[in-house]
Structure 1
Amino acid sequence: MQVEISNSEDSKTLTDKEIFTKIWLSPRKVFKFINDQQYDRYVYLLLALAGIANAFDRAVSRDLGDKMSLWGIIMLCFFVGGFLGWISIYIYAGLISWTGKWLKGEGNSSSILRILSYALIPIIVAMIFLVPQIGIYGKEMFKSDGDITSAGLIPNFIFYGTMILEFVLAIWTIVLCVVAVAEVQKFSIAKSILNLLLPVFLIGVPILIIILWIYSI
């Protein structure tokens, strides 16, 4: 598929392939295209995949391997994460739009959700690394006291190497989110970072106060 950009001085086009390749090193150009053209082609697929990726992260952090089988965890992440995992992203986009208005941002919740879905591509790609990780340690990586050291030198090199790559992709996702919000809100990078953090403080601070109050009783 090829879409024309008609509102620029030079008539340019971006194919689907160019969108998914140039977003890694030329994100500003791609995000401008997505925002200006309201490019929605893969938004819901990307949100579903991002939901699955987030579900696997939560499965590790919540030690689901202590309570569920490996196949149960995988099915839960794919079906619940794919169908419901995007809701948190939807809510976050709405909060970014709301707090962004305090900073004179121009984006609405739909435009922010659209552009964030593409900014999440690195963590979606990072799911590829789950295949060797699960192949090496299986359910152990989802347990609170799982054994993830005894597989041997080469398997451990692969396992921890892929974890490092996952971390790098997570950092790059954050960078892309900053650039994406800066483009859609017409913010500087510093203001974009503030816009991304405000919803976290808006929700996190009251929760922290409630937790501290409960523990003080």
Structure 2
Amino acid sequence: MTNLYRAVLSNLLIKPKKAFKLIKRYDLDKYQFYFLILIGITNVIHRDFLKLSDINNNFWPREFVLILVGALIGWVGIYIYSYLIYLTGKWFGGHGDQSQIFNMLSYAAVPGILILMISLIAIIILRVLNFSVADYNVQQHIWGDDYFAIIQTVKYSVNFIAWCHFILTIIGLTVFQGFGIGKSIANVLAALMIIILPIALFVLALRLHHH
């Protein structure tokens, strides 16, 4: 990894605008698929966190296969999302093309790799402590309980990192689309609405049909 990439990654959280300007200026896309593979693995492990932490769960080979699939297709969701941001960004006069936005989103997702590290550490600790999902009821536990403390720490860490991802996406759009903060937020929301609205209408239609 060259000094330029190291400069980008070291500034991503402390000086994100500077990092995104470097990414745009030098078209730094060499490692984007490595980032996205890790994010794909992260999504699978986070989704099945409690199952993987359960001492009674012998997660080989099913979970291993799911992790491999997540690694292979981890970039698909971000690719689709980048296209929707590109498409809706045109409505607001955005200047970025899809490949640039896709690259920006891959960097904005990099803090999510911390979720992978936190989750793996928590999974190992919980399995060492003989954690069992069948015996665990979150409503009966408090912060003094080891299981509860670990699981809640992971939960709040994930929420914090998710907000970092959102903020980095907004800042990235100010650089790649040439927007202010307000338009960048509108660009993200418009892209999300294209995903959410058809699903909401489909669910509503099903409910009306059953009634």
| TM-score normalized with structure 1 length | 0.80
Q: In the TM superposition, what is the alpha-carbon distance from 1:197 to its structure 2 partner?
A: 1.2
Preserved contact between residue 86 and residue 98 of structure 2 (Cα < 8 Å): yes
1:168 alignment partner, one of 160, 166, 170: 160
Show structure 1 runs of 5+ residues with no match: 3-13
Q: Which residue of 2 aligns with 1:82?
A: 71
Partners of 2:53 and 2:119 in 1: CA distance:
15
Q: How does 1:36-55 map to 2 (within 5 A)?
A: 36-55=25-44
Sequence identity, in percent?
29
Q: Kindly state the Cα deviation for residue 183 of structure 1 after the two structures are TM-superposed.
A: 1.0
In structure 2, relative to structure 1, the CA distance for the partners of 1:148 and 1:167 (3 Å cut) is farther
The corresponding residue for 2:100 is 111
Name the structure 1 match of 2:179.
187
Is 2:6 the partner of 1:17?
yes
Q: Quick one: structure 1 residues 106 and 75, their matched pair in 2 at CA, closer, same or farther if it must change by over 3 Å?
A: same
- 1:22 is displaced (CA, Å) by 1.0
Name the residue aligned to 2:19: 30
1:70 Cα deviation (Å)?
A: 2.5
Q: Deviations over 1:119-163 (max 9, x none)?
A: 11111122101123212445978x6x672657x734543443233
Distance 2:182 2:135 in 1: 40
Amino acid at match of 2:107: Y
Give me the whole-angstrom Cα distance separating, in 2, the residues matched to 1:112 and 1:69.
40
Q: Aligned partners of 1:118, 1:192: CA distance in 2, in Å?
A: 16
Shift of 1:65: 9.5
Superposition CA RMSD, Å: 2.9
Distance 1:197 1:69, change over 3 A: farther
Q: What amino acid does structure 1 have at the position aligned with 2:199? A: I
Q: TM (normalized to structure 2)?
A: 0.83
Letter in 1 for 2:203: I
Deviations 1:20-54 (A, max 9, x none): 11111100000011012111121110111112222
Q: What are structure 2's unaligned runs of at least 5 residues?
A: none
Partners of 1:146 and 1:91 in 2: how far apart? 40
Correspondence list, 1:95-134, <5 A: 95-134=84-123
Aligned counterparts of 1:140 and 1:200: Cα–Cα separation in 2: 37
C-alpha distance in 1 between matches for 2:201 and 2:72? 32
Q: Secondary structure at the match of 1:71?
A: coil
Looking at structure 1, the residues matched to 52 and 150 of structure 2 have their Cα atoms a distance apart, in angstroms, of 23
1:162–1:209 Cα change, 3 Å:
closer
The structure-2 alpha-carbon separation of the partners of 1:111 and 1:207, relative to structure 1 and needing over 3 Å to count, comes to: same
